[in-house]
Chains A and B, each alone.
Chain A
Amino acid sequence: MMAECTINDNIDESDSDYSDEDFETYYHPMEYGDSEENHNPVDAEDPELFPVECLTMEQVEMFLNEAVNSVCHILNINMSLAKLFLLFNNWDVEKIISGYKLDITSFLISSRVLPTLQSQQQSANIDDNDCQCEQQQPGSGNIINDNVFICPVCTCSSLKSLGLCLECQHTFCTECWTTYVEVKISEGQSTEITCMAQNCNLLLQEVIALKLPISSYLKLQYQHFAFHNYVISHPLLRFCVGPNCNVIFKAKQSLAKRIVCPQCKSVFCFKCGDSYHAPTDCATIKNWLTKCADDSETANYFSAHTKDCPNCNICIEKNGGCNHMQCYKCRHDFCWMCLGDWKGHGSEYYECSRYKENSETANESAKARAALRKYLHYYERWQNHAKSLKLEEKTLEKIKDRINQKVMNGSGTWIDWQYLLDAAALLAKCRYTLQYTYPYAYYMNNESKNLFEYQQAQLEAEIENLSWKVERAETTDRGDLENQMYIAEKRRKTLLKDFFQT
């Protein structure tokens, strides 16, 4: 057949389309022979393409210091102050320079280096009315004579020369500052430590904190926590989310793209650090997950594992990931999601995945019911694909066992059967994206919703075809399977190209 040849030719050319990621990124790490990671031509049109660098702590420090040095140099300020500016301005050097040059005083106030004009006035008033009846009251730092003051924290009098204050003039003795900073560092604080006075939010700069006589261990801790704060505040840096993984990623732009940690194999979104969620954006997926957690009780009922065959009513348990069900008794083919006849479902899949808005929303309680029904429509599909992903993981295990047996029986090598594993990996990748199209559709509210749901249905149909074929891999023709892989991945990429705006 001509058509088939063309498609197969395409597959050979764009092999990398589906093998550029091995399935380790979707399943737990496991070794299965060499993936073809090394000879990928880069597809510049790939909507998921996102070049990142993996940096060590030292490299990150160098990268951060570049920004610190340029701020120091241009504004002629010390490093500690430059770091503070950067920390509170998303490391945007230009914004800092223009803000600083525009109005130094208000820039210093908003950076919590200078007190607000309001509190400057207040402390001036305290000094004016400094009468003896309010003596020794903690909180006001009273001055007994020109050389001695009473520290409001420990209530001891000491020499003014031994006191220490920030720009707010709230003076405390060095001993109190030291103990205070020690307590805060041992609670995990660093750059966020403030002045000790009531209602004063001025920040204790790094340079002042580290000059205090605190132990060298705590100084190291301070630097460690501060480094952590610098990295999380930087839009182009992201710690790997894997437990005990020290990799730090650096990107050219802060986008909601997929990161795969080369060290611990964690997969996550660069921008928010949560599980990768294309085509949905960071804020939407957050809302969705909160909603799912809040509504879990109502929704649980619907995520049952069994359904009745629509033809003979026998109870069928879903044990594979494919939504194309075949009743073991009457052999009726039907769809798990809508219980419709599978015959002709290919073309009508659109009807199955699309939620039909109902216009009978007259009164409030009907509206509430309609809202719940709408949510459950999307939630059920979201859950169902998550479950399918899990079940298909088991299918993969079975495939591996069977390949092992074949190889031991001398029928082919691992390389000959590699395509089966590639198919399973691709299936996981497609189904994962499909799962995340449901929150996207749930919150979608514009003209393009029809187009989106059309593409979603197309993707869904091809994924189910692929799943069906993967589960029956041995009886499926290799060319047929590879066709299906190509089509499914093409649908996935098309949907992402059209709707994944990062």
Chain B
Amino acid sequence: MANIASQRIKREFKEVIRSEEVARCSIKVELLDDNYSQLKGEIAGPPDTPYEGGKFLLEIKVPETYPFNPPKVKFLTKVWHPNISSVTGAICLDILKDQWAAAMTLRTVLLSLQALMASPEPDDPQDAVVARQYKGFPEIFISTAEHWTNIYAGGSRKKEEYSKKIERLMGIGCNMDQALVALSGCNWDLDKAIEQIFG
């Protein structure tokens, strides 16, 4: 790993550890290897959003050319959000692409991701299915995102109706992830979801 890169990450690592956000349990980073090229991040779902109460894990890969190029970040925890792929966890955020500046840090990235969770940008979507629901059926979007937060990130809000529909699909041979993705994508229309999986 290039000299500047590891030097910077070491420094930033300490910065995050000491930051007041960590004190509030809002963000966290962990080292995964000795040469500082792989880290695990964690952000708390922002309050007053469907993600409230959830803990979201992030994979952070630091390129050789860091900090002149942005870190590669994706969600490890599954999340229902217009700018995050519900399947791969890939993120659509300008500062992780062409709006990155060398003076930005891991802390800026984590805080920006939290801000993104609080205010999605459906016109620049990563997941078109989610974005369509966000714009067309905002109430279904909120309860779906809450349900996902409950299942994958430990949030407390969920809908019994949704759980039952998932069980129905699991009863006919689907696994949970598959059932959840299909139902969420079909606005919880059971027949459509069945058709999508088996059709």
Contacts and interface: CB of A to CB of B under 8 A. Distances in A.
A199 interface: yes
Contact of B102 (A136, A137, A176, A199): A176
Given A137-B15, A154-B4, A198 B104 contact: yes
Given A138-B12, A138-B15, A198 B4 contact: no
Given A153-B4, A153-B102, A200-B101, A139 B11 contact: no
B36 to A, nearest CB: 13
A184 interface: yes
A154 B8 contact: yes
Nearest to B106: A138
B101 A197 contact: yes
A138 B4 contact: no
Contacts of B108: 139, 198
Contacts of B4: 153-154, 176, 179
Interface in B1-60: 4, 7-8, 11-12, 15
A321 interface: no
A389 interface: no
Interface stretch (B65-73, B78-86, B134-142): B65-73
Nearest to A181: B68
Name B's interface SS. Answer: loop
Most buried by A among B11, B12, B67: B67
Name A's interface SS. Answer: loop
Nearest to A180: B68
A162 interface: no
Interface in A32-89: none
Contacts of B8: 138, 153-155
Given A138-B15, A154-B4, A155-B7, A183 B69 contact: yes
A195 B69 CA distance: 13
A488 interface: no
A155 B101 contact: no
A200 B103 CA distance: 10
Contacts of A170: 103
Nearest to B95: A198
Contact of A155 (B11, B65, B104): B11
B105 A139 contact: yes
A196 interface: yes
B65 A153 contact: no
Interface of B: 4, 7-8, 11-12, 15, 65, 67-69, 101-105, 108
Interface of A: 136-139, 152-156, 170, 172, 176, 179-180, 183-184, 194-200
5 contacts: A136-B11, A195-B101, A196-B68, A196-B103, A198-B101
